[in-house]
């Protein structure tokens, strides 16, 4: 994906290297339980695209963009009927990355995808 600031490029480069090392040396991926991260209407894409639920040791940082400019919206991360996180954004535009983080202690199950959605404030 495209970055807003050079700082994000450096930060994500470090994170990618750390995660690649984990993937190669530390995790037994044969027993992984992966779930999809699904951007809903109004979200153009989301990173990560999938999560290994059995190996969540650190907070999960979701990065995504809205598909068109929006004002006064709530962004939600949910799984099934459970709301995992919700945040209000007065302005969201496609050129700016939105970040939301779930703690590693979040109760994510391994049988349903995670959805990222937006809803305008009523």
Q: How far is CA 82 from the centre of its chain?
A: 16
Question: pLDDT over 70 for what percent of the chain?
Answer: 75
Which structural domains are found in the chain, ordered by start?
30-120 (2.60.40)
Could you tell me if 59 and 101 are in contact, meaning their C-beta atoms sit under 8 angstroms apart?
yes
pLDDT digits (tens, 9 = 90+) for 63-115: 999 999 999 999 999 999 999 999 999 999 999 999 999 998 888 988 899 99
């Amino acid at each position: 994906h495209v970055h807003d600031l050079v700082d994000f490029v450096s930060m994500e480069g470090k994170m990618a290297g750390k995660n690649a090392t984990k993937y190669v040396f530390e995790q037994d991926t044969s027993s992984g339980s992966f779930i999809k991260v699904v951007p809903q209407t109004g979200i153009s894409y989301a990173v990560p695209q999938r999560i290994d639920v059995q190996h969540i040791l650190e907070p999960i940082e979701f990065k995504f963009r809205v598909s068109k400019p929006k004002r006064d919206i709530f962004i939600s991360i949910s799984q099934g009927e459970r709301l995992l996180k919700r945040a209000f954004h007065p302005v969201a535009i496609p050129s700016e990355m939105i970040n939301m983080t779930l703690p590693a202690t979040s109760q994510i199950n391994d049988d349903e995808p995670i959805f990222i959605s937006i809803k305008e404030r009523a």
